[in-house]
Amino acid sequence: MPQVVLINPLIPPNTGNIARTCAATGTELHLVGPLGFELSDRYLKRAGLDYWEYVKLHYHETLADFLLAHQQRSGRCLGFTVRGNHNYSRFEYELDDWLLFGSETNGLPPEMLSKCDETLYIPMSESGVRSLNLSVSVAVGLFECRRQLGYLA
């Protein structure tokens, strides 16, 4: 089953919305610090509504902690970035893929991008738009992955 990883997320409602998406799909969510908020933040909780009990949440204080956890479980790290090498919808996903997303302002840090097995991008028609909202990007990437793996039937 694919997993979602947020590295240094900054905006509580985005993370709350992503947690809700992960709860609805049974997808594990990994948060990698430092976070731009406390896990007890009311905006985070409100965006996730009353679904937090269904979120399979893992918190890693540092990138090094996350990399150790990933190494213990294996699977490819797929970094979503506007400068990715592969269109996310044409990429072939595998069951144990980890979908990585960076902060709302900086994206994935260079030290994580260099460790990704592949980088993916979500095409946009308007060149003046830098990126999509983080929670939208996660939903788009996760649902394409799930579609290809047969989880939407």
Residues within the annotated binding site? 102, 122, 131
Residue 136 identity (one-letter amino acid)? V
Within 8 A by CB and 6+ apart from 33, the residues are: 8, 59, 60, 61, 62
User: What's the helix, strand, coil split of the chain in %, to 5?
Assistant: 35, 20, 45
**Alpha-carbon gap, residue 108 to 78, rounded angstroms:** 11
Which residues fall in the annotated binding site for S-adenosyl-L-methionine?
A: 102, 122, 131
- Residue labelled with tokens 């479980």: 73
DSSP type of residue 39: T
